[in-house]
Structure 1
Amino acid sequence: MPELTVGDRKLAIAERIPPMLFYLPLILSWIGFSLRHRSFTLPTAANPKIFTGGMWGESKSDYLLDITPEERTWVADFTVVRRGKGAFSVDADIKAAQAALDAQGIAYPFIAKPDIGWHGHGVRRITCFAELQDYITGFPENTNIILQRYVPYAGEAAILYARLPGERHGRVLSLTFRYFPHVVGNGRETIRDLIGKDARARWKSKLHLGGDATHRGLGEEELARVPAAGEVVQIALIGNQRAGALYRDGRRFITAEMERRIDGIAGSMTEFHYGRFDLRFETVDALARGEGFSIVEVNGIGGEAIDVWDPRLPVGEVYRRLVDQQRLLFLIGKRNRARGFHPTKFADFATSLFRQNRLIRQYPAST
């Protein structure tokens, strides 16, 4: 991963804007494109074989299963299990989960996450059978769970991809490096103190200190620990804005080899024209060669161009990139509509959002 400096820890101006206020211009922009194209949900036709085009409410495992076996070697091994109905099914569900793990050859530790997920809600690292029992017991009924091999690579990145309908090849639109929420020890202060003094960690301190019911946070023993000078302490498993992760625009590292690899993976999927591949990678050089990485998640049209959250970008550039993303989504949707694909009905579009939000409130706390 490209090395960070002290100044890189600052919050972006865009991150300081309240979310509802920040997204208001983008909502207006979306409405403008909707009026021009006579459809509010036209972008959902960009990925016509995915529920809502992947805006929200879709199955995350469906993406991974749609990748052909030849290309699935680039995906971290996973299995999907079902949380049944009623407390009486819990023991059977746990046994089925362990059997599925054994069949897939997935050992502890591994990652457990909801099949319908958002912003890392419900994502945990499971280190033993007791933790698997606890996770499944606390999971909402009649829903699917993804159990995925833990990828030990240090780097994490998000690659945004698009292919216009009718074209043989797509392109990588952006590459973003994700830096997990962390603090750096000085040999004197506790992790709790370091969180309070670090701009990014302090921004989400409620989450890290256990004050948010949707996230476990750090235990008292860990918070009281004094890390050695220079020791990097990861304070959350999830690497997104919800936990205060840092994003760095890495488009200068995009190469033809990387693009060919991602295009091959995306091209193996059914009518997949737009999405973001979240992956763990060994080194930047290996990733640039299209090697040494494992995909852990795929997102559809809801996969935001997260390079915009690089603190070095001015607000004007942030909005320009996000509006360009909307413009491209409507263009792809328009072309697929001309091919006979229909956008998701507005009622289904809205209902799926409400269902996803309801599920999120029921998921076990993330870590």
Structure 2
Amino acid sequence: MTAPAADHKTLSLFEFWPDSIFYTPIVIYWFLMGLRYRDLTISTAANPRIETGGLCGESKSSILDMAGPTAQKAIAPYRVIHNGANAVQDVLDAMKAIDVDFPVVLKPDIGCNGTGVKLITSLEMLREVLPLFPAGTALMVQKLISQPLEVGIFFIRHPDEPVGRITSLTYKESPVLKGDGRSTLQELIMADPRMRQVPQLYLPRIKGRENDILPAGETLSLLFAGNHCKGSIFRDGRPDITPALTDRINAIMLDIPDFHFGRIDLKVASPEAMKRGEDFQIIEINGVGSEAIHIWDRRTTLVEAYRTQFYHYRQTFLIGAAKKKQGWKSSGVFGTLRSWLKQRRLLASYPTND
């Protein structure tokens, strides 16, 4: 058995609606829940050891740094450096520390939606890419995991529960062009039933190579970072949630103090191995700002998508309220705003992701 087969023929009704349209009902729901709990940011207390609970502006490495020995074994090795005059050597030192060679993944320590994620294949490329990031930017150097499938798993555990549950599992697929020996890259994109509906996502990926012809049978992956808004294709994999996988995820997430709500992005060897809770590596853990991304499967209805979103965000308020009763504090409106502005400023300064 393999991951769900790609079907590029259609998009869902709402898949690429502007954020200002799709998320407006969610913002209204968030506001109403905030009024009910008398704290608009109470959900940020759901993961109280993380800045804003992982809603915005948090350091990716700070979440991974909290992992205990069980969780550490499941996380792809990484180090953090700060971009500057000695950044090339710092990256090389970081690579030596985690015992990897090129290719290696370089990504901003603060960011979202895969912005700025780069696959560095050589020393020459590293020297070209580092100046694209502002001086002083914190960058994660992470081992490239060779497992072929990328999966997003959503995990929720209420403070009074001894173990949590998986509420979403999604396979992420990179859009791929297959050459016929005649068509240009641009023609291949415009001939694809899915890609031609959102060419603004894919044509920039081949800038300067629009007229290149891909040899017959040769393939070209258009995206490295697995993010829907950048053009990745998401497939609902919830039928592959098993007790063994749930037990393994619990063992990992219970080894991260006071983590109750978020999405785990991992690379897996195969769906069969994953269902046994085996052969996977975590590449990122996201907090309150993450989504149950199976909603971006083209077969998901708008009603189901909103039902899923409202359910998950309600859990953040319930968990946040419970954590406040334990003595933890939310980020507050101004604290959250500062974190959001910081993240927004940084995102605007990063290069396009691979």
For residues 223 and 353 of structure 1, do their structure 2 counterparts lie closer, same or farther at Cα, with a shift above 3 Å needed?
farther
Aligned to 2:3: 2
The equivalent residue for 1:94 is 88
- Please give the per-residue CA displacement for 1:200-237, whole angstroms capped at 9, x wherever unaligned: 32344334333xxxxxx2354475123435x5531111
- Counterpart selection for 2:329 from 333, 342, 355: 342
Kindly tell me the number of residue pairs found equivalent between the two proteins.
Answer: 353
Deviation per CA, 1:174-223, whole angstroms, max 9, x where unpaired?
1011111223444542322111122432344334333xxxxxx2354475
The 1:307/1:155 distance shift into structure 2, 3 A limit, reads same
Provide the residue aligned with 1:225 in structure 2.
Answer: 213
Cross-structure match for 1:214: none
Tell me the SS of whatever aligns to 2:349.
coil
1:328–1:108: structure 2 CA closer, same or farther, 3 Å change rule?
same
8 Å CA contact 1:183–1:201 kept in 2: the answer is no
Aligned partners of 1:5, 1:52: CA distance in 2, in Å? Answer: 36
What amino acid does structure 2 have at the position aligned with 1:43? Answer: S
Answer yes or no: is the 8 Å Cα contact 2:292–2:309 preserved in 1. Answer: yes
- Aligned residues of 1:189 and 1:227 also touching (Cα < 8 A): no
Asked if the contact 2:244/2:275 (under 8 Å) is kept, the reply is yes
Q: 1:73 and 1:9 mapped to 2: Cα distance? A: 40
Cα drift, residue 140 of structure 1: 1.5
**Equivalent residues of 1:165, 1:335 under 8 A apart:** yes
Which stretch of the first structure deviates more once superposed, 231-240 or 123-132? 231-240
Q: Which runs of 5+ in 2 are unaligned?
A: none
Shift of 1:17: 2.5
Q: Does the 8 A contact of 2:61 with 2:140 survive in 1? A: yes
The 8 Å contact of residues 157 and 178 in structure 1, kept in 2 or not, is answered as yes
Contact conserved, 2:185 with 2:206, CA < 8 A, in 1? no
Q: Which residue in 1 is equivalent to 2:13?
A: 13
Tell whether the 8 Å contact from 1:182 to 1:201 is kept in structure 2 after alignment.
no
Distance of 1:16 and 1:104 partners within structure 2: 38
Give the fraction of aligned pairs with identical amino acids, expressed as a percent.
35
Q: How does 1:135-214 map to 2 (within 5 A)?
A: 135-210=129-204
Superposition pairs for residues 1-367 of structure 1, below 5 Å?
1-4=2-5, 6=7, 8-84=8-84, 90=85, 92-210=86-204, 217-218=205-206, 220-221=208-209, 224-229=212-217, 232-367=219-354
CA contact (8 A) 1:191 1:227 kept: no
Aligned Cα RMSD in Å? 1.7
Partner residue of 1:87? none
Matched residue type, 2:299: R
For residues 128 and 69 of structure 2, what CA distance do their matches in structure 1 show?
Answer: 32
Report the AA paired with residue 166 of structure 1. Answer: D
CA distance 1:207–1:309, change in 2 (3 Å): closer
TM-score for both structures, normalised by structure 1: 0.91
Closer, same or farther: CA 207–315 of 1 in aligned 2, 3 Å: closer
User: Relative to 1, partners in 2 of residues 1:223 and 1:153: Cα closer, same or farther, differing over 3 Å?
Assistant: farther
User: Scaled by the length of structure 2, what TM-score is found?
Assistant: 0.95
The secondary structure found in structure 2 opposite 1:71 is helix
After TM superposition, the structure 1 stretch with the greater mean CA deviation from structure 2, 266-275 or 126-135, is 126-135
**CA distance 1:223–1:40, shift in 2 (3 Å):** farther
SS state at 1:141 partner: coil
CA distance in 2, matches of 1:126, 1:12: 33
Distance change (3 Å), C-alpha of 1:182 and 1:298: same
Describe the shift of the 1:83–1:283 C-alpha distance in structure 2 as closer, same or farther (beyond 3 A): same
CA distance in 2, matches of 1:100, 1:129: 13
